[in-house]
Amino acid sequence: MNDLSRRATITATRADPRQQDARRQPARSGPFGVLDIGSTKISCLIGRAESDGRLRALGFGWQRGRGVKSGGIVDLEEAEKAIRAAVGAAEDQADMRLKSVTVNLSCGQPESRLFNVQWPIDGRAVTEDDIRRVVREARARAASEGRGTIHALPLNFSTDETGGVADPRGLYCDTLTAQLHVVDAATTAIKSVTACLERCELEIASMVSAPFASGLATLVEDERELGATVIDMGGGTTTIAIFAEGQMLHTAQLPVGGNHVTNDVARLLSTQVAHAERLKTLYGTCQESPDDARELLPVPLVGEAEHQIAKVPRSALVSIIRPRLEEIFELVRDRIETSGLGRAAGARVVLTGGASQLVGARELAAQILDRQVRIGKPLGVIGLPDAATVPNFATMIGLLAFATGEGQTMHDIDFNVAAPQGRLARFMNFLVRRM
């Protein structure tokens, strides 16, 4: 353990074809620390961007989720212990101490909303400050409702009666109108996350919507442009993000996930949650097979002696898992339909997250959603252990991509960088190409 560790006593490179096609100069090189706070695990990654645009891991650590439920902090002390352990492990590997982290947000009932903001220009030319004020106005509206803004992305502008303006700077008008996609969450939940990280001696560099980060890690450029839906099946929640034309157009969160599958198994088979998780991981599937009735699984029963093991047909396990996954995908389908963005979402769905690895999940999702479905493996990070390259860690890897400049929304734009290119649209397109 090195001298930089924050902990007390706490007990191969994989090439990626997407990076081969998109090795561009990173906006920021780092190093950066990112933290994925989830119900089932808390993971930390320290990394940087290479000169060719590829991501390199310097340190990685993770812990079983404690003090967290549905992405929100429910026990500050337990959450602090888990975060310190995960961050400390990453710091030891990287031989550095983090002062700040980019963190995901999946608590506080995050919502995706559209705001139409009008700003008086009074006949002069639109400036960068005007655009900043429009974004601040959207944030202020959310704050007045007890909501904190995570992302505020301008979708389009109008100058007086002229709509479809990509870059209003330098144009003369009386009124500037902007339609913004705002992702916000309850201010109290955000404060709880902030307070927990302060106890860990960490500042928040950025807060990122969890499904947005998952999209950055798993979608290819064509999917972002033509339309795709990312479904991140976490432990306590399932999140949805719709991408099209290079932007995230909508996000939603469902209060069900892989933990609910585990609890169903534990309750209906009368076994401990730990045993139920093992059964789900080793034998879980939502595909029925003629052999399921003959294959018997060992199930230790609650309250019985250790040597008393029941034998349960695998068909019983399938009959528990499949209905819960059907429910999740039906809820996802309903959310996509009510968003009004069904056509924009395209015909492509990318599944990621731990529960997406259940055998048959992809086929069941394709059947219920009536779309092409693939499992979204996160983009490769040089030096990251193979165990951390599975869909469970998509959000964490997406957070590192965000920290290095991928997918930055407009309110994060440094206009001094954009100005030499002359047009905001070019800068936005540059970001889209790098997403």
Any idea which of 93-107, 198-212, 301-315 has the lowest mean pLDDT? 301-315
Residue 408 pLDDT exceeds 70: no
Does residue 67 or residue 415 have the better pLDDT?
A: 67
Cα–Cα distance measured from residue 214 to residue 351, given in angstroms and rounded to the nearest whole number = 10
Nearest by Cα to 205 from 318, 120, 104: 104
Residue 101 pLDDT exceeds 50: yes
Confidence of residue 29 (pLDDT cuts 50, 70, 90): low
Does residue 7 or residue 423 have the better pLDDT?
A: 7
pLDDT at res. 412: 40
Confidence of residue 20 (pLDDT cuts 50, 70, 90): very low
Residue 348 pLDDT exceeds 60: yes
Confidence of residue 108 (pLDDT cuts 50, 70, 90): confident
Average pLDDT over residues 6-19: 43
pLDDT at res. 409: 45
In percent, the amount of the chain with pLDDT more than 70 equals: 86
Q: Which long-range contacts (CB under 8 A, 24 or more apart) does 318-323 make?
A: 318/285, 318/286, 318/287, 318/288, 318/292, 320/261, 320/264, 320/265, 320/268, 320/269, 321/261, 321/264, 321/265, 321/280, 321/284, 321/285, 321/286, 321/358, 322/286, 322/288, 322/360, 322/364
Residue 303 pLDDT exceeds 90: no
Cα–Cα distance measured from residue 217 to residue 206, given in angstroms and rounded to the nearest whole number = 17
What domains appear along the chain, each with residue ranges and CATH number? 111-185 (3.30.1490.110)
Q: 289-325 as b/e, with b when 16 or more CB fall inside 10 Å?
A: eeebeeeebebbeeeeeeeeeeebebbbbbebbbebb
Q: Starting at the edge strand that comes first in sequence, how are the strands of the sheet with 55-64 ordered?
A: 55-64, 41-49, 32-37, 100-105, 203-209
Confidence of residue 221 (pLDDT cuts 50, 70, 90): confident
Question: What pTM did the predictor assign?
Answer: 0.82
pLDDT at res. 288: 86
pLDDT at res. 192: 93
Cα–Cα distance measured from residue 34 to residue 90, given in angstroms and rounded to the nearest whole number = 10
Question: Please, what is the average pLDDT of the chain?
Answer: 85
Residue 256 pLDDT exceeds 60: yes
For β-strands 228-233 and 348-352, DSSP reports them as parallel
pLDDT at res. 129: 92
